[in-house]
Structure 1
C-alpha cells in the first residue's frame, strides 16, 4: 500500500526538482522548490517520521523559502538571457548532471555494493523528537551553528546588495 503512495509522490518530487532547474524565472524555481519540499515531507510521513515531516514543512518550506523569496524579490532579478546563452546553460546543466550521476553511481557501487541486498531496518526511535534533539545538539551542533551563521551572512549580503545608494 505504501508503494502506491510512494511512487506517485516520488515522481511528483522528481518533476518539481526538474522544475527548479529548468524554470526560466527565479520565482517559479522557488515555488517548485517549495512543492518539492512538501513532497519530501510526505515521504517522511510514509517513513513514520512525523516529526521530521513537520520540521520539513515549518523550517524549510516555510522559513527558509520565505527568506529565499525575500532575497529574490529584493535583488529584482531580470531575465535578459539570449537564446544562445540559455542553450549553453542548458547544455552545461545536463552535462554537469550526468557527471554527478556517474560519480554517484560509482560511489554507491564501490562503497555499498552488497548492502542493497540486505537493507537495514529502521529503529523505532527514528524521527522522534528526542532522537532529533539529541543528534542535533550533541553530534551535529557545529554544522548546525555554521549553517545558521551562513544564513545570517546571506541575509546581510542580500540587504547590502539591495540597499539603494544613500545621498
Structure 2
C-alpha cells in the first residue's frame, strides 16, 4: 500500500498515477477485510476503485495533459511538501489518541465494522461532514467541466 502511494506521487504520467491510486484503494480494502469489516471493504472497492477512479480517469482524459506542459518539481516545493505531510501526520496521530481515549469499550466494539454502527455514526454524528464532501465533489465536477470546455469562438 505504501509503495503504491509513493507511485501515485512519483509518477509523471497521470494515468499511471491513477492506476497506482486504484492499487492503493484495493490495498486499503484488504486492510478492512483483515479487520473484519467486510462491508467497508466492499464499499471501498465498489465506490472508490470503481466509480471515483472512472471519474478521475475521465477528468484526466478531458484535460488532455501533455508531458512538456507539466511543471518541474523544485527542491523548496519538495521540502515544503514533506514538512506539510509531517505536520498532518502529527495532527492525525494526536487526533487518533484523543479519540481513542474518549471512546468507551462498547463504542470501540461497535465501530469495528458493523453496518448499523457505521450508519449511525455517518448520518447522526458526521452528517455535516458527509454533506460537505458531497458539495466538494459537485464543485470539482463543475470545475472540470469548465476547464475542459473548448472556446466556441
- TM-score of the two chains, using structure 2 as the length reference: 0.81
1:16 Cα deviation from its structure 2 partner: 0.2
Q: Who is 1:8 aligned against?
A: none
Q: Deviations over 1:63-110 (max 9, x none)?
A: 11111111111111111168xx6352x66335522553266348747x
How has the CA–CA distance of structure 1 residues 132 and 106 changed in structure 2, closer, same or farther, with 3 Å as cutoff? closer
Conserved in 1, the CA contact under 8 Å of 2:111 and 2:118? no
Matches within 5 A, 1:1-167: 13-80=1-68, 86-88=72-74, 92-98=77-83, 100-101=85-86, 104-105=89-90, 108=93, 112=97, 122-123=108-109, 126-167=112-153
CA distance, structure 1, for counterparts of residue 50 and residue 34 of structure 2: 21
CA distance, structure 2, for counterparts of residue 154 and residue 55 of structure 1: 22
How has the CA–CA distance of structure 1 residues 164 and 93 changed in structure 2, closer, same or farther, with 3 Å as cutoff? same
Q: Who is 1:7 aligned against?
A: none
CA distance, structure 1, for counterparts of residue 135 and residue 84 of structure 2: 31
- TM-score of the two chains, using structure 1 as the length reference: 0.74
How has the CA–CA distance of structure 1 residues 93 and 140 changed in structure 2, closer, same or farther, with 3 Å as cutoff? same
Unpaired runs of 5+ residues, structure 1, are 1-12
Unpaired runs of 5+ residues, structure 2, are none
RMSD value, Cα: 2.9
Count of residues in correspondence between the two structures? 147
CA distance, structure 2, for counterparts of residue 124 and residue 135 of structure 1: 10
